[in-house]
Amino acid sequence: MGTLSLNDYEDVRIWAPWGHIAGRWYGNRSERPILAIHGWLDNLGTFDTLIPLLPDYLGVLCIDLPGHGCSSRLPPGMHYSTMEYVLIIARVMKEYKWPKVSLMGHSLGGVLSYIYTALAPHRVDLVIALDILVPPFETPYALSYIGYSLDKHLVEDERAEEDSIHEPPSYTLAQLRTVLSKGSKNSVAPELAQHLLYRSVAKSQLYPERFYFSRDGRTKFYSILPVNAPLAAEMAKRIKNKPYLIIKGSKSNYINSKANEAISILRKQNPHFEYHEVPGTHHVHLVSPDLCAEYIVPFLRHHRPPAVSSWSLNGEEKKLSMKEQRRSQKNFLARQLKRLSKL
């Protein structure tokens, strides 16, 4: 057994009433995969550096949430929301007729995993949460933000109408790397921004060598599902005996004291709960994938072990060297850059 390759994937399109959900299914496509969900304003490229470190006996289906990456936008006048995104998990399961789902989510994707697992614990067999656990807590600021986002959503509706007539502002790839890095609060370094840009930009028809962001601007102001401490605790109580792995970036504050009660509940009632902190930013899985893989791979091997038929007779495993993994990632990025240049 070895590790997954970024070159071994199938692009998929999952039907939705408003269009489709785009995804890439890496590795084994004969068994139910891990469903990987990215964070807010990102796309499935967020898992590019982690994928080559995961065991190849499993498949990983990475999807773009609606309005992100290559997935369809919601129709004009509709509003993005946390619960609409949670429903995407159920839509994917229905498409492939999965009785259960294995979830891996970063940031917003981790929140969606937490909510869905609390709502339907009998349909989830494991969760990997990357630098997140509970949804944002209900505070006076959160309520103010909801009001602000409603107004901004209307502005984005008008901007979308203008963009259908006039091309949005465009930038060079170097400028886009800087913009994306700053937008992530420097969680994603400019040299890693390309992993997210190749599914988030379109080539300008007016200016050679320039690109513009193609994601739906309304996603910036989606309706967050705020919860209070008692509700977050009750959600945690519903997640019993469920393999649940949390990896926190040491330089990130997305998992803070507000999550302590939920973590305490999961730790006390769940013998399969794991919590680890590794050096890194909020995008620790993208920036330091090897540190995350040290915990993710044993977790997967324990809770989603390979079928007996896939074991080698001598018990030896094939492993890509770190140099080979980096070369694979570099070649992958080179192809995406070439693809952008031909748009």
- Report the catalytic residues: 107
CA nearest to 200, candidates 188, 113, 165: 188
Rg of the chain's alpha carbons, rounded to an integer?
Answer: 20
Secondary structure class of 118 (helix, strand, coil): helix
Distance CA 190, CA 192 (A): 5
DSSP-assigned letter for residue 169:
P
Kindly write down the DSSP assignment for every residue of 272-337, as one continuous string: TEEEEEESS-TTHHHHSHHHHHHHHHHHHHHHSPPPGGGS-TT-------HHHHHHHHHHHHHHHH
Tell me the C-alpha distance between 334 and 315, whole Å: 36
Question: In 3D, which of 320, 45, 314 has the Cα closest to residue 195?
Answer: 45
Gap between the Cα atoms of 327 and 261, Å rounded: 43
Spatial neighbors of 257 by CB under 8 A, at least 6 apart, are: none
How many helices (H) and strands (E) the chain has is answered by 10, 10
Q: Which residues, other chains included, contact 72 with Cβ-Cβ below 8 Å and sequence gap of 6+? A: 16, 18, 19, 20, 21, 22, 66
